[in-house]
Structure 1
Amino acid sequence: MSSRRTTAITGSLLTASFSAVMIFSFSAGADDQGPMSGKGGKVVDEAPPGVKLTTLLPEKISVDNSSQKTAITATVKNGGNEESGEIRLLVVGFDGLAVKGVAGCSEITKKDLPEGSNSGFACAIDNLAAGKSKSYDVDATFDVKKQGKICLPVQDAAGEKTFWQQGPVPFGANNPSPNAPATPLLLGTDNSPVTPGSDELPKTGPADKVLPLGAAGAALISAGAAGLWWTHRRPQRRES
């Protein structure tokens, strides 16, 4: 075999190997949302003895600038030493962030959505054992020309008590590039997109709310310096 032919074959193999590495790296990166965080979470109603419910969201997500699509992992965890019993997790979108689907969960009808939200899904959980967690794949869109928030309340099965609520917490970027193929967004950061001819972002909806769907009327709850609002609607229980 001539040295020229050997060089050509070696070059082809190196090119193929490099391409394979690039494809693998991109695929892995697309699903890698980094560390998870409970930022923006708070206890609302006291959980049953021995039950400690919390939620986690990825610290970073990536939005496709052409389709506005993004993927988010929502996790609910029981950090206590007793089983949770029947509970439900809500995944609710605000402003520029719209929840399009949550695997294994039911869409909340428009009339039953929490005030100020644009979309939401309810995930029924029969029981969450002590020390266990359950994660859900969330399909969403994010209009990077707006601010966007997500909220994860954890309630009893009837929606009458909210044991934990993360958010509404924003995803955003301080300095996004409008010409990039994707925009990376960080949890707990207000979105500040570059919008020609505009120095201010459109602001819609309340900034800090408690979203249990089950309060029997509106009531302002005092929690330090922040006011937490209850919604007016009571949810319909889903038949199994």
Structure 2
Amino acid sequence: MSSRRMKTIAGSLVAASFSAVVILSGTAGADDRDTGSSKGGKVIDEAPAGVELTTLLPEKISVDNSSGTTDITATVKNEGTKESGKIQLLVVGFDGLTVKNVEGCSAIDKSNLPEGSNSGFACALDNLPAGESKSYAVDATYDLKKAGKICLPVQSGDGKKTYWQQGPVPFGTTNPSPDAPATPLLLGTDNKPVAPGADELPKTGLGRDALPLGAAGAALIAVGAAGLWWSQPRRPRRAQEG
């Protein structure tokens, strides 16, 4: 076989191998993509014609058992046919889940947080084109001795209307693992804290299990009927626009 023919065959094999790598890499990337979930979401106020706003949260997060820290991605989407105009996404924590920071967003003053919440950030968007989405990196902590919930309302730019609200929806586990480096939590699952230690009283009778029916939980129950954000006399101030 001539050296020229051997070079041609070798070149063809290299090209074929390269093509296979590109195809396999592209397929793996598509399969690994986490599109998130809108579980616990609902339309509240009617959005402008052609605008359809929703939010997404990861199906699974992981809490570091030593520090209690976790990372969450909050996404707002416009699934309509027209651009949204000015809107704002709120990221609010409840109970054991505390929102520490949301990249590019402004903290909501404690006096403007809804009843029962412990933290929140407002993310202003000048416009979200049709078919596009915007994701935010959320830094949070989770007290695994408690239940934890997160809420993502999408409001008009002035905060007078809430077009969509996801939650308050829980992250939790029915199988806590205190001895592991991290505890995986699933969206839409009520957290079952690890059994109490020797220095804790077991939860019996009208103890902590009754709290969701008290004052702190009233806002959560109201979500199922009249909603949470639009019933508040004070609304979170929108982040200063540039």
**TM superposition score normalised by structure 1:** 0.76
For the 8 Å contact 1:168–1:208, the answer to whether it is kept is no
Q: Higher mean Cα deviation, 199-208 or 51-60?
A: 199-208
- 1:209 to 1:169, Cα distance in 2 relative to 1, 3 A: farther
Change (3 A) 1:209 1:135: farther
Instruction: Give the 3 Å change call, closer, same or farther, for CA 198–33 of structure 1 in structure 2.
Output: farther
Paired with 1:86 and 1:153, the residues of 2 have a C-alpha distance of 14
Percentage of identical aligned residues: 67
Q: 52-61 or 191-200, which moves further after superposition?
A: 191-200
Superposed CA offset, 1:57-77 (max 9, x none) = 000000001100000000000
The alignment of Structure 1 onto Structure 2 pairs a total of residues equal to 195
Aligned to 1:228: 227
Displacement of 1:228 in angstroms is 2.6
Distance 2:40 2:238 in 1: 28
Answer whether contact 2:36 2:58 (CA < 8 A) is retained: yes
CA contact (8 A) 1:209 1:228 kept: yes
User: What residue ranges of structure 1 are gaps of 5+ in the alignment?
Assistant: 1-31, 211-222
More strand by share: 1
The CA deviation at 1:236 is 3.7
Paired residue for 1:147? 147
Deviation of 1:34 after TM superposition, in Å, equals: 4.4
In 2, the alpha carbon distance for the partners of 1:33 and 1:121 equals 26
Distance, in Å, in 2 between the alignment partners of 1:167 and 1:40 is 5
Contact 1:51 1:82 (C-alpha < 8 Å) held by counterparts: yes
Shift of 1:52: 0.1
**Contact 1:91-1:153 at 8 Å conserved across structures:** yes
Give the 3 Å change call, closer, same or farther, for CA 147–33 of structure 1 in structure 2. Answer: farther
Letter in 2 for 1:232: P
Distance 1:87 1:47 in 2: 11
What's the secondary structure of 2:227's corresponding residue? strand
Greater RCO, 1 or 2 (C-alpha within 8 Å, sep 6+) = 2
**Whole-Å separation in 2 of the counterparts to 1:46 and 1:179:** 47
Match of 2:136 in 1: 136
SS state of the match for residue 145, structure 1?
coil
133-142 vs 33-42, greater mean Cα deviation: 33-42
The AA in structure 1 aligned to 2:234 is R
What's 1:198 paired with? 202
Q: 1:37 to 1:70 in 2, by over 3 A?
A: same
TM-score between the two structures when normalised by the length of structure 2: 0.76
Q: How far off is 1:194 after superposition?
A: 1.6
**CA offset digits 1:45-102 (Å, max 9, x no partner):** 0000000000000000000011000000000000000000000000000000000000
